[in-house]
Amino acid sequence: MRGVRHYPGFGAVTAGCLVLLYAPLVVIAVYSFNGSASITQWGGFSWRWYVDVFTGPESGRFGQAAWNSITIALLAATAATVIALSAALAMVRAGSFRGRSATFALVNLPLMVPEIITAVATLIFFTAIGLRTGYLTILIAHITFCIPFAYLPIAARMQGIEGVYEQAARDLYATRWQAFRLILLPLVMPGVVSGYLLAFIISLDDFIITNFVKGAGMETLPTAIFGSVKQGIKPNIMAISTMLLAVSAIFVTLSYFINRVGQRARG
């Protein structure tokens, strides 16, 4: 059979898509090393905008925003991973139960609902229960939409692990908890790490929902960048964006490889 890659024109279309996707990123990365203050004219290679990010007039604002982003991402990814692991245990290991399909839909809803709808709904919800918008509301919202990203790799990995290992452990006098902690958990660990990294990066990058529920005076890195760009694009934004891009790329790559190594060890 002919693979899809053998259709005429497939290569050209692919190349076109890749250029469209990545050209802007390349431009930003290149111009973050621009020696001049212009965002269009090349003034030679320089680290000055990276220095500016850490010491310039906006460094305080960005520092605080980065701190918020990273702590929220750590906490949200941790909570989402724990919840996702519990959900996966129920969905994959507990057999069928009433409401299983409904639970699956519920866990994965954030992937299917347009983000702007979730954002508005979340804001209305917080207002309705009288919760003041701020750090806490961002954290709660992030935990919610991070769950499916943590859930999918964990559940996929757990599905690939036969139940007979846990049965063998139970047969050898392990309690339910010991069978989980000593057998199932180490075996799903690549999925857990992969899910955690994915959740972390999704939280770190989020703009729309965060912007709705952050409240006045509270900034994360994406909202701070957006605020700064509104007053005109300066090359220091490109430097921050490039650093964020690098962190994202590292995490996603890591997540991918951890999953693959796990799969190879199992097969």
Partner 1 sequence: MSAIEIAGVSKSYGAMRALDDVSLTIGGNAFFTLLGPSGCGKTTLLRCIAGFEEVSAGSIRLLGRDIAALAPNERPVNTVFQNYALFPHMTVAENVAFGLRMKGVPEARRRARAARMLEMVHLAELADRMPAQLSGGQQQRVALARALAPEPEVLLLDEPLSALDLKLRQAMRLELKQLQEETGITFVFVTHDQEEALTMSDRIAVMSHGRLQQVGTAREIYESPVNRFVADFIGETNVLPVLVEGVEGGRASVVLPGGARISCPAAGLGPGAHHLSIRPERIGIAAGGPLRATVERVVYLGTDLQLVTRLADGTAVQVRLQNSARTEVPAPGTAIALEPEEGAARLLAD
**Residues near partner 1 (CB under 8 A):** 162, 164-165, 167-175, 178, 183, 186-187, 265-266
Instruction: Give the nearer residue to partner 1 in terms of CB position, either 69 or 259.
Output: 259
Q: Which amino acid is at 54?
A: F
Q: In the complex, what is the shortest distance from the CB of residue 162 to partner 1, in angstroms, rounded to a whole number?
A: 8
Q: Which candidate, 75, 83, 69, 74, places its Cα nearest to that of 147?
A: 83
Instruction: Give the nearer residue to partner 1 in terms of CB position, either 94 or 117.
Output: 94
* Alpha carbons 198 and 104: distance in angstroms, whole number: 19
**List of residues 6+ apart from 18 with CB closer than 8 A:** none
* Alpha carbons 165 and 156: distance in angstroms, whole number: 17
Instruction: Give the nearer residue to partner 1 in terms of CB position, either 12 or 164.
Output: 164
Instruction: Give the nearer residue to partner 1 in terms of CB position, either 61 or 260.
Output: 260
Q: In the complex, what is the shortest distance from the CB of residue 99 to partner 1, in angstroms, rounded to a whole number?
A: 21
* Alpha carbons 6 and 26: distance in angstroms, whole number: 29
Question: How many CA atoms lie less than 13 Å away from 32 in the CB half-sphere?
Answer: 20
Q: In the complex, what is the shortest distance from the CB of residue 249 to partner 1, in angstroms, rounded to a whole number?
A: 30
Instruction: Give the nearer residue to partner 1 in terms of CB position, either 59 or 178.
Output: 178
Structure tokens at 176: 């339910």
Q: In the complex, what is the shortest distance from the CB of residue 258 to partner 1, in angstroms, rounded to a whole number?
A: 15
Q: In the complex, what is the shortest distance from the CB of residue 103 to partner 1, in angstroms, rounded to a whole number?
A: 24
